[in-house]
Structure 1
Amino acid sequence: MPIKTGDIKLVAQTEDVLGEVPLWHPERKVLTWIDVLKPAFHAYDPATGTTESWTPPEKLGSYAITDSQEVLISGRNGMALWSPTDGALHRLSHPESDRPDNILNDGRTDPRGRFLVASMDKMLSGAKGRLWQVSGAKGTQLVQDKDIFLPNSICWSPDGATFYLGDSHTNLIFAHDYDVDTGAISNRRLFADTKGLPGDVDGSSVDAEGYLWNARYDGGCLIRFTPDGKVDQTLELGVTKPTHVTFGGPDLKTMYVTTARFRLPAEKLASEPFSGGLLAMDSDVAGLPEALYS
């Protein structure tokens, strides 16, 4: 049965060049996200309708929320803990230091508080990316070192036993077995071949029913996939470049979508006033609570 969603609203127009990684903070009740290229770090409070923005110390590919004022940032100079409010910065690791042409891209925290982040060659010259796991207990460890071109779509099934990783260059989304106790990843397999669908694979989130929602960059829509990788529903958004989707609000039934203005001509921007902003809509299916990095 198709999931019902309400009217799409523009809740913050931050004119992001490349808005990304919307995360709902379960304790602070705010929605945070980044502009990868400006760069910027934003926080939207739906209770007041206000948005605050800060400038991070470098361009970020992704980040993780924590139970403190700090965020774990995945940037051009590696992993660090950063406080937006006072600018304090504590460097942790630089996993791609041996590959100067690589940058860290999509990342997310697993149900046990480990952060998984994948890298890519910034010139897109080949599948030179790697997948890393970052934890307070074990530091930064290599998980996968091949077959990653332009990583996106990192998320988990409701029980944490399936890990998803997509590739925007090949338009494939892969599933893996995931051991939530140890963080071990195995049994990589194709989840969905999306080459015949609108746009390209970008950020994803899984809802409480185990269906994966994928933002289709340059495709203007979200696509909901069944747990076995079939297209269940397509939701048109009215913007060309949606980049990521997540669930928030007190009942996790508000869908938030980040968008981009990157390389959109002036006439397209004039006809798409929501581009570069944060979108929100009500949903009759809930999402999963966002894990905090520990």
Structure 2
Amino acid sequence: MVEIKLLVDCKNHLGEGPLWDVRDQRLYWIDSTACEIWSCNEDGSDVRTYYVPTYIGSMALRERGGAVLALADGFNFYDFGTQRVTAIANPFTDKPGYRFNDGKVDRAGRFFAGSMGYDFDPLNVSITRKPGDGGSLYRLDPDLSVAEIDTGLVCANAPCWSADDKTFYFGDSEHKLIWAYDYDISAGEVSNKRLHISDQNYARTVDGATVDSEGYLWNAKVLGGRIIRYAPDGSIDGEFEVPVRNVTSVMFGGRNLDVLYFTSMAKAVRGVPTTQDGAGGLFAIYGLGVRGLPEARFAG
């Protein structure tokens, strides 16, 4: 029997990026625009909060301890003890209208993170763009070099890899698309970009995603109150209604990697306050009968 629980009523302004650490058996997530990192045990206990100096798009834990962050001003290392950041590189020096958004680490230890425009608003029809505008996808290698992997993004989201590491998935919330690329895990290179999922439902758009051990992609539908499981061919395999409209990202975790955690946001949309109980909270779904894959740590 599937059961959904509100684990932490944290009222995040923009909760994002749940990350289960198999080494320490803890869940991490971020409040992107409140400039915070959150952490708790599997059951939502022992909640801790850490602070960063600017907007945080995504994070990954490091093999050497601490984390690597995709902040508004670029890639940074983070020390949880001192709560201090150390700059690595800023690819936005010539793109002042953009900042980092969603990101993840491949199983070779490289950190991929994409950008978004500060003016992105999925409900603002006055902002008209076309594919080819704006932001980019970047790769931070363990030697701390940065490569631009793809361009033409407005609000980068949903990076994840197939279970066999041969396919990379990546999306853009503005255009409600997720692409698939052939992936070379030995070099960290993508090729053969093609459309994988197009969800043009006017009431929702794509947000954070993960892939389970069977190779199915799970995607949070922000503004739509849904989480959808997609088969490897891009068809819908299952759809789950959740208690909050603005569900933002998903990640399998727990001792057996069989709990689907999801984040949400409490911020107002178009100035209208969010009134749902639990909005901005961290939730968990039990009883799905599916397991996830362990997340890698950044190797640098």
- Bin the TM-score by the shorter chain: over 0.9
The one of 215, 235, 239 equivalent to 1:234 is: 239
- Looking at structure 2, the residues matched to 196 and 221 of structure 1 have their Cα atoms a distance apart, in angstroms, of 12
- Looking at structure 2, the residues matched to 211 and 197 of structure 1 have their Cα atoms a distance apart, in angstroms, of 24
Q: Does 1:10 align with 2:6?
A: yes
Match of 2:285 in 1: 281
Secondary structure of the residue aligned to 1:50 is coil
Secondary structure of the residue aligned to 2:3 is coil
Unaligned runs of 5+ in 2: 121-126
Q: How many residues align?
A: 286
The residue identity in structure 1 corresponding to 2:291 is A
Match of 1:136 in 2: 142
Q: Does 1:223 align with 2:219?
A: no
User: CA contact under 8 A between 1:247 and 1:254: conserved in structure 2?
Assistant: yes
What is the CA-CA distance between 1:136 and the residue it aligns to? 1.9
Against the structure 1 CA distance between its residues 231 and 12, is the aligned structure 2 distance closer, same or farther, given a 3 Å change threshold?
same
Secondary structure of the residue aligned to 1:160 is coil
User: CA contact under 8 A between 2:13 and 2:265: conserved in structure 1?
Assistant: yes
Against the structure 1 CA distance between its residues 33 and 163, is the aligned structure 2 distance closer, same or farther, given a 3 Å change threshold?
same
Q: Does 1:209 align with 2:214?
A: yes
Deviations 1:11-52 (CA, angstroms, capped at 9, x unpaired): 111110100000001101000000011121000112671210
Matches within 5 A, 1:130-169: 130-137=136-143, 139-145=145-151, 147-169=152-174
Matches within 5 A, 1:263-282: 263=268, 265-266=272-273, 268-269=274-275, 272-282=276-286
Q: Does 1:80 align with 2:85?
A: no
Unaligned runs of 5+ in 1: none
Match of 2:110 in 1: 114
User: CA contact under 8 A between 1:56 and 1:84: conserved in structure 2?
Assistant: no
- Looking at structure 2, the residues matched to 7 and 39 of structure 1 have their Cα atoms a distance apart, in angstroms, of 31
Against the structure 1 CA distance between its residues 121 and 48, is the aligned structure 2 distance closer, same or farther, given a 3 Å change threshold?
closer
The residue identity in structure 2 corresponding to 1:108 is K
The residue identity in structure 2 corresponding to 1:134 is L
What is the CA-CA distance between 1:262 and the residue it aligns to? 1.5
Query: Which 4+ runs in 1 deviate beyond 6 A?
Result: none
Match of 2:30 in 1: 34
The residue identity in structure 2 corresponding to 1:172 is L
- Looking at structure 2, the residues matched to 181 and 197 of structure 1 have their Cα atoms a distance apart, in angstroms, of 39
What is the CA-CA distance between 1:138 and the residue it aligns to? 5.3
User: CA contact under 8 A between 1:210 and 1:226: conserved in structure 2?
Assistant: yes
Secondary structure of the residue aligned to 1:130 is strand
Match of 1:260 in 2: 265
- Looking at structure 2, the residues matched to 48 and 258 of structure 1 have their Cα atoms a distance apart, in angstroms, of 13
- Looking at structure 2, the residues matched to 212 and 233 of structure 1 have their Cα atoms a distance apart, in angstroms, of 10
User: TM-score if structure 1 supplies the norm length?
Assistant: 0.93
- Looking at structure 2, the residues matched to 293 and 197 of structure 1 have their Cα atoms a distance apart, in angstroms, of 36
Against the structure 1 CA distance between its residues 158 and 197, is the aligned structure 2 distance closer, same or farther, given a 3 Å change threshold?
farther
Match of 2:193 in 1: 188
User: CA contact under 8 A between 1:107 and 1:117: conserved in structure 2?
Assistant: yes
Deviations 1:159-180 (CA, angstroms, capped at 9, x unpaired): 1110011111110110000000
Against the structure 1 CA distance between its residues 109 and 55, is the aligned structure 2 distance closer, same or farther, given a 3 Å change threshold?
same
- Looking at structure 1, the residues matched to 223 and 18 of structure 2 have their Cα atoms a distance apart, in angstroms, of 18
What is the CA-CA distance between 1:84 and the residue it aligns to? 2.3
Deviations 1:106-152 (CA, angstroms, capped at 9, x unpaired): 1110110000111122224642011110012251111112x212110
The residue identity in structure 1 corresponding to 2:105 is T
Q: Does 1:178 align with 2:178?
A: no
